[in-house]
A and B are shown apart, each in its own frame.
Chain A
Amino acid sequence: MIHSLALAAIVALGVATLFVGGRGLRIARTSADFLVATRAVPPLLNASAISGEYLSAASFLGIASLAMSEGLGALWYAVGYLAGYLVLLAVVAAPLRRFGAYTIPDFAEGRLDSPRLRTVGTGLVVVICGFYALPQLTGAGITLQDALGTPYWVGVTVLGGIVTAAIASGGMKSITLAQALRYWVKVVALAVTALVLLAILRHPDLGSLRPAGVSRFTHPTVVDVPGREVLVLARPARVAVAGVVDGVRRHGTVALSAGRHLVGAGTRIRFPPGPVPHPAGRPALDGGAWSSPLVRIGGRSIHPLAATYGVILATFLGAIGLPHIFVRFYTNRDGASARRTTALVRSCCRCSTCCRGSSPSSAGWRPPACTSRAGPTQWCWSSPGLRPPALAETCSQR
């Protein structure tokens, strides 16, 4: 059931992407059509497209999962990035569009009169976009893996192929339409989640948004561990295991001592009520530490003020260094509409971030809140480097 629904959703979005890509293909005739969508993208459409980029997997899932595992300080990433658009608006948007170049290297060369700068700029754009595409493709592979159970390479090839086909056929026009479409899909998805959460906020099973101690399982809970992971138990527990624990394949009840245990990939463990074990290297946070507004790096509070200002500064200035955002300003009709685009982006981002801020994983939907008396709840940890925490840490009831 879940698989067929997920498949239907993915196919629908893929077909929609190809459809708008084909629409762009009919319109795109000249270089200006292909590279900058004839410079005739109205501000609202362009703002939706830029917000679609902003609301990528990184912020859609990444910040939510960071907020869940490392505390609410992770929301600074969203705030800083949004503030970065203010810098973009005040410093970059209108002048960039007025200049009349097609690309950032064109602009750098023309403005500072240096062909060498053009080469350097081209190299930087390729490097940044490469590093940007890499996690996107990884995400595509993992998402299909998670939603449909297909091998990793299927997601990378199929989703990568669809997007490449859409862009290569219709250029900027296609991708602007596709991104705008995806923005609205994502906003609706977030808004529904947020509304559901608000509707059930008073439900007693949700527990407190700010628990006094560390997270606890309130009743026996099944946990799937997708990748090799070292779990730390606060106290001894008798658990039911199917899989590999401490290097031994087991099937049945095992008494685990307090301390570290190496759990193999694909292991399923049923924990009794008690403190939730946490991955080694990522300390368990109590409610006070979790809700602190200062950034924790890897869940640890090391020079929290410096870490917070570091994140703010990096995202504040980082937003103006994103070539795929930059290039969108060339698609606006003129400087004024480029500016209006940026101002609109900020409203779009704002409404999506508000939804995200109140969506389950960032609003303190921590392990005890996941549980329900109706039946065993499944939970899984990520293995660092194998898959993004957001996907693995989503609590799902099956």
Chain B
Amino acid sequence: MTGADPPAREVVTSSPRPLDGTAAWPASDDLYSRGEAGEVLLRSLLRAQLGVTASVLVPAVIVIGMYPLLAAAVPSVAAATVGPVPLSLVVLGGGLYPPLVALGGWYVRRAERVEARFAEPIADR
């Protein structure tokens, strides 16, 4: 807050909305206006994004879902200990987190790559 005057305070209002009842935010007009090529591009982007999402969520569900199933089916898994510490504390208190965090980081990298690939042909035009 040095030098230039700060902008005047204004009354906080809801975001401006059109009066004719149309949606305030055109979602993908820009792409559709490119005709068939835009549609193909959009569909390939959606498919790529769905693929990335599934490739993260499915392993996550498997990683998380296996342990209760094992513990219920094999009583020795439920009762196992690692040294003096119960296995359940090791798994639920720490062991499950690294794979989940790694999946998250991997998703971010892949999603950004998919977007970059999508942005290239559009930027060309």
Residues in A lying within 8 Å of B, measured CB to CB: 26, 29-31, 34-35, 72-73, 75-76, 78-80, 82-83, 85-87, 89-91, 94, 99-102, 106, 109-111, 113, 115, 171, 208-210, 288, 291-294, 304-305, 308-309, 312, 316, 335-336, 339-340, 342-343, 346-347, 350, 353-354, 356-358, 362-364
Contacts and interface: CB of A to CB of B under 8 A. Distances in A.
Query: How many B residues touch the partner, as a band?
Result: 35 or more
B67 interface: yes
A34 B78 contact: no
A102 B85 CA distance: 47
25 contacts: A29-B8, A31-B10, A34-B12, A72-B88, A75-B93, A79-B97, A83-B60, A83-B100, A86-B60, A90-B56, A101-B15, A106-B24, A109-B24, A110-B23, A210-B84, A292-B71, A292-B88, A293-B92, A294-B72, A336-B115, A339-B107, A347-B101, A350-B98, A353-B97, A362-B93
Main secondary structure of the interface of A (DSSP, over half): helix
Q: Pick the most buried of B12, B91, B97: most chain A CB atoms within 10 A of its CB.
A: B97
Interface of B: 1, 6-10, 12-15, 21-25, 27, 52-53, 56-57, 60, 64-65, 67-69, 71-72, 78-79, 81, 84-89, 91-94, 96-98, 100-101, 103-105, 107-108, 111-112, 115
Contacts of B10: 29-31
Contacts of B12: 31, 34-35, 171
Given A209-B86, A362-B93, 7 more contacts: A29-B8, A75-B88, A80-B64, A106-B15, A110-B23, A291-B81, A309-B68
A353 to B, nearest CB: 7
A270 to B, nearest CB: 31
Contact of A340 (B25, B84, B92, B108): B108
Main secondary structure of the interface of B (DSSP, over half): helix
B73 to A, nearest CB: 9
Contact of B96 (A34, A79, A101): A79
